């Protein structure tokens, strides 16, 4: 497992922490009972089967009325600082990736900076604090920018903070409803990182001007062409993977690196996908591993009959689908997927789609739930990032000392409050109430309204406490969001 390129400068992720709302919807409970008839499913069991097996989720995190992308980001930031045991004054830049921003102008990173200053009693004014937006890939571009700042030695402090934060929201009763979620992932970036060194000069990036998923200004829920979005994701990911393989082969040659082989499954040990829902990771693995194995069919003779069979299906797309369906049912693929992908999906099943943080949640999930955590050090991780609209970026990194650098915390938090965790199940009525959000003032957007009362009062966390309402000569704060630390 241990094959490292010999790169001159080591920059990457020093620590990672996750924060998700404590409220959640149990997708096999009251929600399924009511929705089965509303969605025209033949039975409650059929809907549960589709959501649990077909889509791959069982629970989805839902923010309370005092939570939004800014509070989730600040909470994840506090966690990563405390868990890494660093002095927060050593952070010199904060970059946030989000597609569910809280203000059309102000960067969430500036809000986070203020919350960190108040929480730790420090001054972070000498920091940059940009926000990156490109659907779910925004945080990957934030990471790239911050990592390159360190590679160029333009950083003024030892750490950069990159945060992926989002609240995924689709219309009630739409096929997207059971792929919602919310959460933030915060990562400290540094030289000589303790968690994961990122490989330079290997990233493969693809961007296409697409309409697969978007959220027009003024809308609180996403518009998505579900099946088409899956096709665009797969096409972009396959192209970006090809570029990644070409660039990493060149880099390996340039560095005289010791690599086992040029196939994707030889290049990387663990595959972390953007996972809007866990089955999507399976579709993506089938596409890119299918291509890797198919182009080396002499090494995978079991594929020959599958390919022959698929050829009978008609056009190229039907052939591809038939081939991937039979590959999914094959033992070699199932073993590959169970060992190299499944551990990264444990958290997504219980949290849902957190958009820009999804792939990084996959890294935390691998670190938290890998059956063999002690053997992760030295293994190479492939990152398969995607954002609708559409862009895919594939890159890689080597885990350094994950056992020392990562403190498992999320699975414990996802236990019920009554069992020592922090989770509280939402009734369907409360979930739908939160989903509708505050009522719009007459003729004004809902974002100018005060937040709804919380389902569970904020305690030991940052909270949106009020929305400004003044527009006088003395003071203007109409629609400005005020965040405070609420003690436990």
Residue range at the interface with ligand CAA (CB under 6 A); choices 46-54, 256-264, 302-310, 454-462: 46-54
Q: Closest distance between ligand CAA and the C-beta of residue 198, in Å?
A: 22
| Contact between 54 and ligand CAA per CB under 6 A | yes
Q: How far is it, in rounded angstroms, from Cα 17 to Cα 164? A: 11
Name the residue nearer to ligand CAA (CB basis): 198 or 359.
359
Q: How far is it, in rounded angstroms, from Cα 422 to Cα 76? A: 15
| Contact between 91 and ligand CAA per CB under 6 A | no
Give 382's strand partners. Answer: 271, 396
| Contact between 224 and ligand CAA per CB under 6 A | yes
| Contact between 46 and ligand CAA per CB under 6 A | yes
3-state secondary structure of 467: strand
Cis peptide before 90 (omega within 30 of 0): no
Q: Closest distance between ligand CAA and the C-beta of residue 451, in Å?
A: 26
121 by Cβ neighbours in 10 Å (0-12 / 13-18 / 19+) ranks as exposed
CA gyration radius, the chain: 22
**Taking CB under 6 A as the rule, which mask of x and - marks residues 424-463 in contact with ligand CAA?**
----------------------------------------
DSSP 362-397: HHHHHHHH-TTGGG-TT-EEEEEEEETTTEEEEEEE
| Contact between 468 and ligand CAA per CB under 6 A | no
| Contact between 397 and ligand CAA per CB under 6 A | no
| Position among 24, 233, 406, 431 found at the interface with ligand CAA (CB under 6 A) | 233
Q: Closest distance between ligand CAA and the C-beta of residue 276, in Å?
A: 3
Looking only at residues 162 through 221 of this chain, which bind ligand CAA when binding is defined by CB under 6 A? 175-176, 179, 212-213
Name the residue nearer to ligand CAA (CB basis): 329 or 429.
329
Nearest to 165 by CA among 185, 143, 141, 189: 185
| Contact between 39 and ligand CAA per CB under 6 A | no
Name the residue nearer to ligand CAA (CB basis): 138 or 382.
138
What residue is closest to ligand CAA based on CB?
54
480 by Cβ neighbours in 10 Å (0-12 / 13-18 / 19+) ranks as middle
Q: Closest distance between ligand CAA and the C-beta of residue 326, in Å?
A: 12
Nearest to 228 by CA among 427, 27, 390, 351: 390
Are the CB atoms for 11 and 198 separated by under 8 Å? yes
3-state secondary structure of 270: strand
Q: How far is it, in rounded angstroms, from Cα 140 to Cα 317? A: 30
User: Residue 396 phi/psi, 5° resolution?
Assistant: -145, 165
Residue range at the interface with ligand CAA (CB under 6 A); choices 197-205, 264-272, 275-283, 285-293: 275-283
Q: Closest distance between ligand CAA and the C-beta of residue 224, in Å?
A: 4
3-state secondary structure of 158: coil
| Contact between 281 and ligand CAA per CB under 6 A | no
Residue range at the interface with ligand CAA (CB under 6 A); choices 24-32, 228-236, 286-294, 457-465: 228-236
Alpha helices in 28-122 (DSSP H): 30-38, 44-49, 69-84, 108-120
Name the residue nearer to ligand CAA (CB basis): 42 or 121.
42
Name the residue nearer to ligand CAA (CB basis): 227 or 331.
227
| Contact between 53 and ligand CAA per CB under 6 A | yes
Residue range at the interface with ligand CAA (CB under 6 A); choices 72-80, 199-207, 222-230, 236-244: 222-230
Are the CB atoms for 398 and 251 separated by under 8 Å? no
| Contact between 337 and ligand CAA per CB under 6 A | no
Give 181's strand partners. Answer: 168, 352
182 by Cβ neighbours in 10 Å (0-12 / 13-18 / 19+) ranks as buried
Nearest to 102 by CA among 442, 445, 485, 471: 445
| Contact between 276 and ligand CAA per CB under 6 A | yes
Looking only at residues 345 through 374 of this chain, which bind ligand CAA when binding is defined by CB under 6 A? 353, 355
| Position among 194, 274, 349, 380 found at the interface with ligand CAA (CB under 6 A) | 274
| Contact between 50 and ligand CAA per CB under 6 A | yes
User: For binding to ligand CAA (CB under 6 A), which residues are involved?
Assistant: 46, 49-50, 53-55, 136, 175-176, 179, 212-213, 224, 226-227, 229-230, 233, 274, 276-277, 280, 353, 355, 386, 388
């Amino acid at each position: 497992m241990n094959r490292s390129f010999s790169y001159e400068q080591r920059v990457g992720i020093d620590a990672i922490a996750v924060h998700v709302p404590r409220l959640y919807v149990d997708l096999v409970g009251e929600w399924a009972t009511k929705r089965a008839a509303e969605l025209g499913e033949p039975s409650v069991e059929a809907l549960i089967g589709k959501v649990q097996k077909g889509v791959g989720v069982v629970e989805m995190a839902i923010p309370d009325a005092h939570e939004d992308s800014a509070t989730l980001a600040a909470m994840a930031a506090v966690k990563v600082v405390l868990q890494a045991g660093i002095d927060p004054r050593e952070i010199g830049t904060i970059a946030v990736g989000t597609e569910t921003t809280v203000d059309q102008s102000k960067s969430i990173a500036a809000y986070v900076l203020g919350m960190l200053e108040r929480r730790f009693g420090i001054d972070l004014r000498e920091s940059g604090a940009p926000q990156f937006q490109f659907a779910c890939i925004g945080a990957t571009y934030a990471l790239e920018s911050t990592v390159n700042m360190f590679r160029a030695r333009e950083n003024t402090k030892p750490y950069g903070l990159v945060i992926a934060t989002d609240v995924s929201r689709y219309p009630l009763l739409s096929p997207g409803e059971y792929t919602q979620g919310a959460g933030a992932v915060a990562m400290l970036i540094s030289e000589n990182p303790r968690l994961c060194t990122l490989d330079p000069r290997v990233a493969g990036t693809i961007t296409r001007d697409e309409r697969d998923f978007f959220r027009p200004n003024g809308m609180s829920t996403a518009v998505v062409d579900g099946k088409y979005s899956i096709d665009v994701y797969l096409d972009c990911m396959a192209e970006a993977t090809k570029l990644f393989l070409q660039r990493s082969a060149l880099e390996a040659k340039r560095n005289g690196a010791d690599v086992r082989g040029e196939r994707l499954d030889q290049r990387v040990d663990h595959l972390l996908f953007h996972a809007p829902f866990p089955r999507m990771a399976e579709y993506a693995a089938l596409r890119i591993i299918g291509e890797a194995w198919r182009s080396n069919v002499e090494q995978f003779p079991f594929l020959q009959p599958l390919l022959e069979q698929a050829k009978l299906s008609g056009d190229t797309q039907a052939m591809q689908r038939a081939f991937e369906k039979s590959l999914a049912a094959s033992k070699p693929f199932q073993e590959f997927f169970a060992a190299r992908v499944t551990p990264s999906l444990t958290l997504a099943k219980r949290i849902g789609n957190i958009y820009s943080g999804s792939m990084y949640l996959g890294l935390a999930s691998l670190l938290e739930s890998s059956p063999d955590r002690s053997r992760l050090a030295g293994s190479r991780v492939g990152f398969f990032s995607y954002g609708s609209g559409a862009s895919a970026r594939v890159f890689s990194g080597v885990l350094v000392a994950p056992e020392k650098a990562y403190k498992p915390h999320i699975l414990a938090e996802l236990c019920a409050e009554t069992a020592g965790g922090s989770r509280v199940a939402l009734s369907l009525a409360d979930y739908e109430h939160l989903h509708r959000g505050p009522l719009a003032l007459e003729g004004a957007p809902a974002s100018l309204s005060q937040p709804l009362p919380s389902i569970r009062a904020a305690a030991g966390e940052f909270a949106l406490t009020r929305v400004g309402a003044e527009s006088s000569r003395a003071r203007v704060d109409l629609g400005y969001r005020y965040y405070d630390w609420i003690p436990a």
